[in-house]
Amino acid sequence: MSGFWSKIMEKISRFLVWAIGNHPGKLIGTSVGFFLGLLVVTLGFWRTLVLFLFVVVGFVLGKSQDDHENITAWIERILSKY
């Protein structure tokens, strides 16, 4: 039985390597859509929206830390475009 599962995992990993190499946007978009769909079904729309907002805020704070940039300067630069 373990040989069966190892063959399945090998085929899945080969497919993922091929998909990332040839169609990265489709793979990422499909994965994100699937994940968000699961969140909406399990948590509900509003809880998923709040979770998404926390993820965005965490990303912005982490990006400012990685770039050694002041968060207010980054926000002003983004908002000045609009």
Q: Say what the pLDDT of residue 1 is.
A: 59
Tell me the CA distances in angstroms from 4 to 7, 8, 9, 11, one per residue in order: 5, 6, 9, 11
Structure token pair of residue 63: 């990006």
pTM above 0.85, yes or no: no
pLDDT (tens digit per residue) in 9-65: 999 999 999 988 998 888 888 888 999 999 999 999 999 999 999 998 888 788 777
Residue 51: how many other CB atoms lie within 10 Å: 13
What distance lies between CA 42 and its chain's CA centroid? 18
Query: Is the Cα dihedral 74, 62, 17, 34 positive or negative?
Result: negative
Q: Is the pLDDT of residue 71 over 80?
A: no
